[in-house]
């Protein structure tokens, strides 16, 4: 449901992809980007202890901090065949800003 309408969480996000493989062998549930180009990790958890969740998010934050612009474009292209991040970014955020 969230990936069909990311505005449920925040209308100023674009989805880069789902189930993004990290260098730690784990998968980010949903990787998004805001209108300023900052990456936002969305993790959905159930039946996990807080310590496990915090450790996993620290791993993801470390990975996201090191990811390159070109890798983001590559992930977007893999997860959204036939689409280009730069074009979608302009379209989505120009529509978002018009609504405000």
Residue 61 falls inside a structural domain: yes
Number of domains in the chain: 1
Residue 29 falls inside a structural domain: yes
Residue 76, class by beta-carbon neighbours within 10 Å (0-12 exposed, 13-18 middle, 19+ buried)?
A: buried
The predicted model gives 23-42 an average pLDDT of: 92
- Which residues sit opposite 33 in a β-bridge? 14, 39
- Please report, to the nearest 10 degrees, the dihedral formed by the alpha carbons of residues 75, 17, 87, 72 taken in order: -30
pLDDT in tens, 37-87: 999 999 988 887 888 888 889 999 999 999 999 999 999 999 999 999 999
The predicted model gives 13-23 an average pLDDT of: 93
What was the pLDDT predicted at 72? Answer: 95
Residue 26 falls inside a structural domain: yes
The whole-angstrom separation of Cα 59 and Cα 25 is 10
Residue 99 falls inside a structural domain: no
Cβ atoms 32, 13 nearer than 8 A: yes
What was the pLDDT predicted at 100? Answer: 46
Residue 66 falls inside a structural domain: yes
Determine the structural domain holding residue 21 and report its residue range. Answer: 6-87
Residue 93 falls inside a structural domain: no
User: What's the pTM value of the predicted model, to 2 decimals?
Assistant: 0.85
Nearest to 72 by CA among 13, 15, 10, 24: 15
Residue 95's pLDDT band (boundaries 50, 70, 90)?
low
């Amino acid at each position: 449901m969230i990936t069909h309408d990311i505005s449920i969480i925040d209308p100023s996000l674009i989805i880069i992809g789902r189930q993004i493989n990290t260098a730690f062998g784990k998968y980010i549930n949903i990787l998004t980007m805001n209108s300023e180009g900052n990456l936002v990790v969305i993790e959905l958890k159930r039946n996990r202890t807080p310590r496990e969740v915090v450790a996993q998010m620290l791993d993801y934050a470390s990975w996201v901090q090191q990811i390159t612009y070109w890798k983001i474009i590559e992930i977007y292209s893999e997860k959204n065949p036939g689409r280009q991040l730069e074009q979608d970014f302009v379209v989505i955020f120009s529509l978002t800003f018009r609504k405000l």
